Amino acid sequence: MKNFVVMLAAILTLCGTPMLLTSCSIEDNPTTNVDELALAQKLSGRSFYSIYEASGTAKDESDNSIEAAYNIVIDVYDFQEDGTGSFQRFFFDYENIEPVMTHGLVGYGVFSYSSTADGTINISLSNNWDQSYPQQWTVQYADETITAKGVDGQTLTLERADEETQAALNNLAEQNGDGGDKFDVADYKPIGVDNSQWMKTLDDSRLVADLSLPGSHDACTAEGWQEKLLSVIAEMTAKTQDLTISEQLKVGMRVFDLRPEHVLETGGSRVLRCSHGMMSTKMLVRDFFQQLKEFLAANPSEFCILTVDLSATSNKEAWGKAFTELVSSDEFRSMFADFKPRLTVGEMRCHVLMLSRQEYAQQPIGGYCYGWVYDIELEKQTKGHITGADGVETPLWVQDYWGENKRDGKDEAVLRMLEAAAARNMDAEKPAWVINYPSAYFLLPLSDSYRENAVEANKVTADWLSSHTGSVGIIYMDFAGMEKSPSFSAVKLYDTYGMTLVDMVIKQNFK
């Protein structure tokens, strides 16, 4: 999904560089003119925040014997029109997605403030706790930002949060510096499940289009994040899976949503990296292909399908050249199958079929997908087609409805496509290929929004499969293989039904 880029863009503006490798700074005391009576209204409504690098050791405010080393800091200010507000400072290290310590919680960071027409805001903490930041200090408002001091005294520009960022900051605040018990994702990964060869008993003459295949949306988002400074934001907004690619293959996933963005690396070179929009994982596309190749060599009865999509790479020509070179290389070309409407299981075994939504060469390796829509209506979802290297067009049906203010209608859209897929004429010369997404987020692009949707959509899909026959095509899901998935803050557990849905999709092939 792509709208979480809106939140990232706000973060990137803090330093004016996509790498965010240095602390943000501007000149002290910017000049501004602010309506004296309206300043409190201008301040209230949403948080002001900054994300910056700083190294040191933070001490717990209530117990100075507790210490934690940090490398990244997030400062958050909230102002109310009545002259009160609150301050929070979250400390992170590069290895953790949760704060190693938090300052300024309720009872510690509550303040009162007064403001003047020139944008000066005088802040005074409303308690006598011994803080590591001043009891009284001044910040400056100008043009939807405030100027404040960071943990080491550096001057920062804090941006006003948009809706997506505000939701992410609220999510972060839920952690509340709590040192109590939290859910560990490792405790909820499937144990003893090995579906590495579930395709072995499929008849070689069976059409691939006539199968039911479990698919992983934004498949590589459990591989960790490349950019350390943004890893917290990525984990909060871009994660849709808890299992790594090797773990997914073992539980039975055979279709993968690949986002091979052309990413600028340190040093100025670009590489193809598995990503979710602008959030890049630690996994290179080459390494992803290598994992598939090794899995298929060890399990020659199996095959995989990839759908390829981009949402962040702007230079499509450079991306296309790099992607063509990789998939055409001696290392991988023989792994990829050619697309045709009535492709069989026997032809696919030990191979990968690649279906790209972006054109990268005059002829595809596999096929190109056209007419992909995000509409809720079945009639519009069935207008697409796949074009192979030979130019032959085959019908493509896609249900990929997501991102609206409410998820009303999502479950019904999934069920309509299930019904339509099961009723297809598989004797047709060119039977429709079907891709159905229970996966989605609604309202805000947060990892927990994907979890919230999975709670409903994964179960609805599994329930339908338990009582129906007929092939249903590719089922793209979030948190595949995970019956339960801990929230970003690890304080809540979602019933995501990910292993149940994988099992039901596989079983659909043998009814």
pLDDT, tens digit, 9 for 90 and up, residues 450-471: 999 999 999 999 999 999 999 9
- With contact defined as beta carbons under 8 Å apart, do 478 and 450 qualify? yes
pLDDT, tens digit, 9 for 90 and up, residues 216-246: 999 999 999 998 777 878 898 999 999 999 9
Q: How far apart are CA 314 and CA 252, in angstroms?
A: 34
Claim to verify: residue 367 and residue 245 sit in the same structural domain = yes
Claim to verify: residue 221 and residue 93 sit in the same structural domain = no
Average pLDDT over residues 432-442: 98
Domain hosting residue 274, numbered range: 185-510
Higher-confidence residue: 1 or 249?
249
Give the number of C-alpha atoms closer than 13 A to the C-alpha of residue 70, restricted to the C-beta side: 27
In a domain, 78, yes or no: yes
pLDDT, tens digit, 9 for 90 and up, residues 247-278: 999 999 999 999 999 999 988 999 999 999 99
pLDDT, tens digit, 9 for 90 and up, residues 191-217: 999 999 999 999 999 999 999 999 999
Helix axes 447-466, 410-422, angle to 10 degrees: 40
pLDDT, tens digit, 9 for 90 and up, residues 38-90: 788 889 889 999 999 999 998 876 666 778 899 999 999 999 888 888 898 99
Q: How far apart are CA 266 and CA 213, in angstroms?
A: 38
Q: How far apart are CA 477 and CA 36, in angstroms?
A: 52
In a domain, 178, yes or no: no
Claim to verify: residue 222 and residue 335 sit in the same structural domain = yes
Last residue of a domain, one of 152, 173, 194: 173
Of residues 105, 94, 78, the one with CA closest to residue 235: 94
Give the number of C-alpha atoms closer than 13 A to the C-alpha of residue 360, restricted to the C-beta side: 29
pLDDT, tens digit, 9 for 90 and up, residues 280-304: 999 999 999 999 999 999 999 999 9
Claim to verify: residue 210 and residue 92 sit in the same structural domain = no
Judged by DSSP in three states, 334 sits in helix
Claim to verify: residue 217 and residue 357 sit in the same structural domain = yes
pTM of the predicted model, to two decimals?
0.76
Claim to verify: residue 131 and residue 90 sit in the same structural domain = yes
Q: How far apart are CA 185 and CA 194, in angstroms?
A: 19
Average pLDDT over residues 127-147: 80
Query: What is the structure's pLDDT at 182?
Result: 77
Higher-confidence residue: 45 or 484?
484
Q: How far apart are CA 85 and CA 402, in angstroms?
A: 36
Residue 433 pairs with which residues in a beta bridge? Answer: 396
How does the average pLDDT of the chain come out, rounded? 88
In a domain, 160, yes or no: yes
- With contact defined as beta carbons under 8 Å apart, do 288 and 258 qualify? yes
- With contact defined as beta carbons under 8 Å apart, do 374 and 402 qualify? yes
Backbone angles phi, psi at 159, to 5 degrees: -90, 155
In a domain, 180, yes or no: no
Claim to verify: residue 191 and residue 160 sit in the same structural domain = no
Structure tokens at 292: 């598939």
Last residue of a domain, one of 114, 145, 173: 173
Examine the pLDDT at 106 and tell me if it is beyond 90: no
Number of domains in the chain: 2
Claim to verify: residue 244 and residue 356 sit in the same structural domain = yes
DSSP 28-76: SS------TTTHHHHHBSS-EEEEEEEEEEEE-SS-TT-EEEEEEEEEE
Q: How far apart are CA 338 and CA 116, in angstroms?
A: 69
Claim to verify: residue 193 and residue 330 sit in the same structural domain = yes
Cα dihedral 107, 113, 88, 175, rounded to 10, equals 50
Q: How far apart are CA 95 and CA 104, in angstroms?
A: 23
- With contact defined as beta carbons under 8 Å apart, do 354 and 327 qualify? yes
In a domain, 102, yes or no: yes
Judged by DSSP in three states, 473 sits in strand
Claim to verify: residue 251 and residue 383 sit in the same structural domain = yes
Single-letter code of the amino acid located at 300: P
Last residue of a domain, one of 121, 142, 173: 173
CA–CA distances in Å: residue 174 to residues 63, 98, 229: 21, 11, 20
pLDDT, tens digit, 9 for 90 and up, residues 162-190: 887 888 888 777 655 444 467 899 999 99
Claim to verify: residue 420 and residue 344 sit in the same structural domain = yes
In a domain, 310, yes or no: yes
Q: How far apart are CA 490 and CA 183, in angstroms?
A: 5
Those residues whose C-beta lies under 8 Å from the C-beta of residue 314, and which sit 6 or more positions away, are none
Claim to verify: residue 404 and residue 328 sit in the same structural domain = yes
Residue 318 pairs with which residues in a beta bridge? Answer: none
In a domain, 193, yes or no: yes
Give the domain CATH number at 487: 3.20.20.190
In a domain, 179, yes or no: no
- With contact defined as beta carbons under 8 Å apart, do 434 and 484 qualify? no
Single-letter code of the amino acid located at 266: T
Report which DSSP code applies to 17: S
CA–CA distances in Å: residue 263 to residues 99, 219, 260, 266, 311: 27, 18, 9, 10, 12
